[in-house]
Structure 1
Amino acid sequence: MAQAEELSFRISDLLCWCAGFNAALGADDHDRRPMGVEAIRELNIALKRAMSKAEKGKSK
């Protein structure tokens, strides 16, 4: 569980960096935007959902 939490924190940091990078780009600078951001966001949500289910299963 600790490893999953650490990974989720690192993914969140990466997503924050991507948001800042995108904010600094011009509106027409699509070629330089990081790719795969939405997929990584979905992965982080799935990881957090799995961690939550694991925690609920532990407390029963």
Structure 2
Amino acid sequence: MPLFQVKPAVDAALGSGYRMFDTAKYYYNEQELGAALSVGGSNRGILSAKLLKEELFQRL
């Protein structure tokens, strides 16, 4: 989903009280969700992400 569609959805969710957003590499939404949450400053929500065990050790 492109950012111009994600941002209004994130704004509506935040306006309704949502604070937890879930993402993963295989959802293909990390960049757009991060960009939508970063507009307007920090503390707009909590972001949860998942890694495969193999990916975790590659990043350490």
TM over 0.5: no
Greater helix percent: which structure? 1
Greater strand percent: which structure? 2
Please identify the structure whose Cα radius of gyration is greater.
Answer: 1
